Amino acid sequence: MSRSSLGFQRAALALLLVAACVLPFVISNYRVFQFTLVLVYAIALLGLNMLTGYNGQISLGHGAFYAIGAYAAAILMDRFGVPYWATLPVAGALCLVAGFLFGLPALRFEGLYLSLATFALGVALPQILKYKGIEHWTGGAQGIVINKPDPPPWLPVSQDQWLYFVTLAVTLLMFWLGWNLLRGRIGRAMVAIRDQPIAAQAMGVNTSMVKAMTFGVSAMYTGVAGALGAIAIQFVAPDSFTIFLSIGLVVGIVVGGLASISGALWGALFIQFIPNVADQISKAAPWAIYGLFLIVFMYVMPTGVAGFIRIAVARWRRGRSQAHPSKETPQ
Partner 1 sequence: MRSNPTRRTTLVAAASLALPFSSAWAQKKYGPGASDTEIKLGQTMPYSGPASAYGTIGKLHQAYFRMINENGGINGRKVTLISLDDGYSPPKAVEQVRKLVEQDEVLALFQTLGTPSNSAIHKYVNAKKVPHLFLATGATKWADPKHFPWTIGFNLSYQSEGQIYAKYLMKNHPKAKVAILYQNDDYGKDLLKGVEDGLGSTGAKMVVAKASYEVTDPTVDSQILTLQGSGADTFINITTPKFAAQAIRKAWDSGWKPLHLVNNVGASVGSVLTPVGLDKCVGLLTVQYYKDPNDPQWKDDPAMLEWRGFMGKYYREGDPKDASNLYAYITAQTMVHVLKACGNDLTRANVMHQATNIKNLKLPLLLPGMAMNTSPDDYFLIEQAQLARFTGVLWQGQGELISTTG
Spatial separation of the C-alpha atoms in residues 270 and 267, rounded to whole Å: 5
Q: How far is the CB of 264 from partner 1 (least distance, A)?
A: 19
Which of 161-169, 230-238, 261-269, 312-320 is the region at the interface with partner 1 (rule: CB under 8 A)? Answer: 230-238
Q: E strands of the chain, at which residues? A: 144-145, 235-236
Options 95-103, 212-220, 280-288, 301-309: segment touching partner 1 (CB under 8 A)? 280-288
- DSSP lists the bridge partners of residue 145 as 235
Q: Please tell me whether residue 239 binds partner 1 under the rule CB under 8 A.
A: yes
Smallest gap from residue 290 Cβ to partner 1 (A): 8
E strands, 233-287, in order? 235-236
Beta-bridge partners for 146: none
Evaluate whether 236 touches 140 at the Cβ level (below 8 Å): no
- Cα distances from 208 to residues 55, 59, 121, 194, 214, in angstroms, run 12, 16, 20, 12, 10
Which residue, among 115, 107, 101, 99, has the nearest Cα to 208 in the 3D structure?
107
Alpha-carbon gap, residue 206 to 233, rounded angstroms: 40
Candidate list 78, 140, 294, 313; residue touching partner 1; CB under 8 A = 140
Minimal CA–CA distance to 210: which of 184, 191, 189? 189
Per CB under 8 A, 322 contacts partner 1: no
Element (H, E) at 144: strand 144-145
Piece of the chain touching partner 1 by CB under 8 A; list 11-19, 80-88, 188-196, 283-291: 283-291
Q: Which of residues 28-57 bind partner 1 (CB under 8 A)?
A: 28-31, 33-34, 37
Q: Choose, by CB under 8 A, the member of 233, 254, 259, 305 that binds partner 1.
A: 233
Taking the complex as a whole, the smallest distance from the CB of residue 190 to partner 1 amounts, in Å, to 31
Q: Does 4 bind partner 1 (CB under 8 A)?
A: no
Span 192-221, contacts to partner 1 by CB under 8 A: none
Chain residues that interact with partner 1, rule: CB under 8 A: 28-31, 33-34, 37, 127, 130-132, 140-143, 145, 229, 233-235, 237, 239-240, 242, 244, 275-276, 278-279, 283-284, 286-287, 290
